[in-house]
Structure formats: C-alpha cells, structure tokens
Structure 1
Amino acid sequence: MDELFDASWTHIALTRREAVCEVALARPDARNALNGELMAELTEVARRLRLRTDVLAVILTGTESYFSAGADLSASQARAGQASLLEARRAIMAGPDLCKAWEEIEAVTIAAIEGYCIGGACALAVSCDFRVMGASAYMRLPEVPLGMNMSWRSLPKLVALAGPSRAKQYVMFGEAADAQRCLTWGFADEVVEAGAALAAARRWADKVAALPPLPVRMTKEAVNAIAAATAQASIYMDRDQYLLASRSADYREGIAAFREKRPGKFKGD
C-alpha cells in the first residue's frame, strides 16, 4: 500500500507509471483556479514527493483544454478584506509555500501545459524544472494591469529564464505569451502540436528516468542554487508589496475594470 497514491484527493488526481508520477489539477468547475483547497493539496503532495527515491520524475498537468485560470480572485479579495494585516500576511503565504514545495522536489519536475496558464499557475509552472506546451497554449500574468504586483516569489525565476528586459515586458504588460514566444523567451522548453503536451512530457520523464538518478538530482540542486543565489534577498518582501497593492484604490479600479470589461483609470493611489 502506498499512502500517497491511495490517499483520497479532492482537487488533484495522481497516477503512477513505474518511476514517474503524474499530478493533474482537477477542479474543472472553476477552470482549475487555485483556491485554498487546491493549493493545499498541491503543496501536500509535493512535500510527500520531495525525498522519495522511487520517484524519478514528476509531471504536473491540467486538462486537455487548459492548465489553470490562476489564483482564485474571490479568495484573494476575501483576504484583502480581512481586518487583521497579520492574518492576511500569513494567509497569502499559501502561494509562495506552494511554489517552494514544488521547487524542493528532488525528482525532476515537468509541467505539461495546454490552453491557458494564468497568474499563479504561471508561478507554479516556472517552479518546475521544465515546461512543455501545446501549440495553442499560452501563459499570461494579469497582476500588474489589475493593480497588483507579481508575487509568489516568482520574479527571480522569470528573470533567470528570460532575462531582465523580457521579464519586465512579460510582467508589466500582462499580455498573453503564446507557446512560440514562450519557447523563444525561455519560459518553455518544447512546443508540440496542440493536445500533445502530456505525451511529450511523458517522453521527457522517461528520458530522465533512464539516467543515473544521483547525479541528476545533484545537478538539479546545484543549478537551482546558482540560479537562485540572490533570490531571497531580492524578493522576500513581495507578499508585503502585495498587501500594500491590494489595499489601494488602483487595485479596486483594476478589478472593477476587469469585470466591467473596460480600460482601467489609475491614479497611483
């Protein structure tokens, strides 16, 4: 009996194929939006997978039509309306904790992305080692146009993958980056025909599983340490920046404009 794979998960589905584990987001009623329950399950499964020596590769995927609509906006607004800043500050660690848990899995992690991958889902995807995208997939960070900063400790990873200028473009403008642009900029490692991302990710996983596991894990740890050498110093306050931004008039205007499908009118307040 394997407690990880035999456990009853509500918002994710786990399967295993020899030394490869597949984790599928399974909240179809909300387009796999990352609410507290889904994030908690994704964090817990990553923590359980972290040091397993019998799992050599982990695939993270959504559905054939979409990866995830990103962080649940209603949950974010509920946190912003809490009376206690201290409680809100604690609550918004769920996203960073999720990404950290996936970064710390010792096995190689591969995100298979079809359709849209938005906001917090992008932060989760770039916490994996590799990303494979279907040709019609895209990634988008809508936070800044909505009056928020991009948080979840994701900026160092985006800069490491794409460089400063492209990371600024990607984060500031909130525009969709299609699969080909993601490949060119470094956010994706392979683009395949639409609907084939999971099959391609399985090929990546099988390639990894055929390698000697010890040097693979040591290489992953060393490269991540080099790439993130200054990450903590540069991004440790991003949740406090989010708390500030989410209490601004521009944030309220950004959300209202999004819902009313109109351009926002921002004043820096």
Structure 2
Amino acid sequence: MNTPNYENILLTVENDIATLTINRPKSMNALNTATLIEIGQAFDLIRENQDEVKIVVVTGAGEKAFVAGADISEMRDMNSLQAAELSKIAHNSFSKIENLPQLTIAAVNGYCLGGGCELASSCDVRVVSSKAKFGQPEVGLGIVPGFGGTQRLTRLVGRGKAKEIISMATMISAEEAHRIGLADEIAEPEELMNKVNEIAAAVMKNSPIAVGMAKYVIDRAADLPLDIAIDFETQMWAQTFATNDQKEGMSAFLEKRSATFNGD
C-alpha cells in the first residue's frame, strides 16, 4: 500500500499491521481540523486496501502524550457554526475508525485527554502505558465533549461513571481506567508496543472475515433487545458458513494442523 506524506500524521504498514501515529509532539499531539481530516483520509485508504492490512494501531508521537486533547488555540475564537463543523469532521473520522472491518488498537502512551480519550474510545481495544492519564476536561473549558465523549465513554464505563469523569474534569490513572473498563490492557512504557504486537499476532492467526464479522455483530447488536440481538448473531453465524475461511478453519482443526486463512 502506497502511503501519502501527511502533514500531521504518519501512516506505515508492516507485516499486515498499519500504524497511524498522531505526529504533532510539540503540541502534545493536539487534534486540530487538519489532523482530524487526515485521520479520516488515512482510514479511507486503509479500507480501500483491506487485503494488505489486518490490524490497525493508533498511537501518538513521543512519550508524553497519546493525544492531549483538541487544539484549544484553534477552537478559542470559534463561533457555534464553526464548532459544529469541527465536531462533524471529528465524528466523521472517528466513525471511520469504529466501522472499519479490521480490529483497531489504541496504544496509549501518555496523556489521553479530551479528543484523545474520544479517539481512543473509537478504537476496539485500548492498550495503555502504566503512566497514561485519561480524562474529559471539557467542562473546565466551558464546553461539553464534542467528539463522541458523552456517548462512547458512557458505553464503555456506564452512565454514572461517565457523568463523574466528565463532570469532575479530572484525570484518572491507567489503573483506574483499567478498573472501570476504559483500558483493556496495561503495560510498562517500554513494553507497550510489545503488548500491542502480542495482541495483534494473536488476532491475525484467525480468519479476518470472522474477526470482522464478530466485531460487526458486537457493535451493532450490543444495544438491541436480547432476542433480536440473538437473531442477528444467528444470521451472521450462518453467513460465515458460506466462506472458504470456515471450510479451511474446520478442516485444519480436524486434520490437527494450523489453518491458513485467505480472507474469502
């Protein structure tokens, strides 16, 4: 996959893993409009080249921050219409992450605040440094989270805890984030990417069709009534039996060998 030279992000692909790095370390990787647009463009490119990418990792440049928030210097003088447009751009890009067939992993290497927490929450899995700090500090700036924080955070940690985190506008530790379900795995800073690669390797052994379909079922059916969700799961389960990956996976099991999945 040919990756463009972006101004605010880096996109690399190696061993079927795409790594998108927010590359604005001088501003703690703050998300401005241009960066949000580039994130969306990068995920469009990844979707167009699904055969070359099985896992996507999102991280931030440097050791201090994953993303310390949205760019306040850009937002300070915005009016309501401009703020609404920025929110739409962010939602568009983050929805592309959330709806990607491949599994996405946020490798959180430092401050993960405001827009950064919202970006991480749009990924499927969050692997975090033991020194990471999470928070939604928007109310301390006189605004509310506008990049999905009131919604994705609530779905991850529950209404009461989301209201507490947002209303207090204070930072929480990696350990607390893990306890409440915001972080899925914790690693020491020097072991963060090893842990990410360990998870990626385990996922990539499996059928990419099945992984993508499982992600789709979880995301689409989680808020449905249980009987409807079960019906939906049954439909998706049945569809997997029309794939070559299903034939290969079950044949390999019965033949006591490792499966070789082609994603078809």
Partner amino acid for 1:122? C
Once the two structures are TM-superposed, the CA of residue 91 in structure 1 deviates from its matched residue by 3.7
1:85-96 alignment runs, 5 A limit: 85-86=80-81, 88-96=83-91
Are residues 160 and 89 of structure 1, via their aligned partners in 2, closer, same or farther at CA, if it must alter by over 3 Å? closer
Q: Conserved in 2, the CA contact under 8 Å of 1:69 and 1:117?
A: yes
1:17-32 alignment runs, 5 A limit: 17-32=14-29
Q: Conserved in 1, the CA contact under 8 Å of 2:75 and 2:83?
A: no
1:172-211 alignment runs, 5 A limit: 172-211=167-206
Question: In the alignment, which residue of structure 2 is the partner of 1:256?
Answer: none
Once the two structures are TM-superposed, the CA of residue 227 in structure 1 deviates from its matched residue by 3.4
* Mapped partners of 1:91, 1:212: distance in 2: 37
1:34-53 alignment runs, 5 A limit: 34-51=31-48, 52-53=50-51
Find out whether 1:68 has 2:67 as its counterpart: yes
**Sequence identity, in percent?**
30
Partner amino acid for 1:55? V
1:14 to 11, 16, 31: 11
Find out whether 1:119 has 2:118 as its counterpart: no
Q: Conserved in 2, the CA contact under 8 Å of 1:156 and 1:228?
A: no
Partner amino acid for 2:56? V
Are residues 39 and 181 of structure 1, via their aligned partners in 2, closer, same or farther at CA, if it must alter by over 3 Å? same
* Mapped partners of 2:224, 2:150: distance in 1: 13
Q: Deviations over 1:233-259 (max 9, x none)?
A: xxxxxxxxxxxxxxxxxxxxxxxxxxx
* Mapped partners of 2:23, 2:53: distance in 1: 22
2:158 to 163, 172, 175: 163
Higher relative contact order (CA 8 A, sep 6+): 1
Q: Conserved in 2, the CA contact under 8 Å of 1:21 and 1:58?
A: yes
State the secondary structure of the residue aligned to 1:128.
coil
2:131 to 122, 133, 136: 136
Q: Conserved in 2, the CA contact under 8 Å of 1:20 and 1:209?
A: no
Partner amino acid for 1:57? I
* Mapped partners of 1:116, 1:131: distance in 2: 13
Aligned length: 223
Partner amino acid for 1:46? F
Partner amino acid for 1:42? I
1:230-249 alignment runs, 5 A limit: none
Once the two structures are TM-superposed, the CA of residue 13 in structure 1 deviates from its matched residue by 1.4
Flag structure 2 segments of 5+ consecutive residues without an equivalent: 226-264
2:218 to 217, 223, 234: 223
State the secondary structure of the residue aligned to 1:195.
helix
Q: Deviations over 1:51-94 (max 9, x none)?
A: 513311000011333211110002112322xxxx5455334312
* Mapped partners of 2:224, 2:147: distance in 1: 17
* Mapped partners of 1:31, 1:87: distance in 2: 23
Q: Conserved in 1, the CA contact under 8 Å of 2:127 and 2:183?
A: yes
* Mapped partners of 1:227, 1:188: distance in 2: 19
State the secondary structure of the residue aligned to 1:93.
helix
Q: Conserved in 2, the CA contact under 8 Å of 1:68 and 1:117?
A: yes
Q: Conserved in 1, the CA contact under 8 Å of 2:36 and 2:90?
A: yes
Q: Conserved in 2, the CA contact under 8 Å of 1:134 and 1:191?
A: yes
Flag structure 1 segments of 5+ consecutive residues without an equivalent: 231-269
Once the two structures are TM-superposed, the CA of residue 98 in structure 1 deviates from its matched residue by 1.9
Question: In the alignment, which residue of structure 2 is the partner of 1:263?
Answer: none
1:212 to 198, 203, 207: 207
* Mapped partners of 1:196, 1:67: distance in 2: 15
Are residues 86 and 145 of structure 1, via their aligned partners in 2, closer, same or farther at CA, if it must alter by over 3 Å? closer
Partner amino acid for 1:168? K
Structure 1 segments of 4 or more deviating over 4 A? 85-88
State the secondary structure of the residue aligned to 1:112.
strand
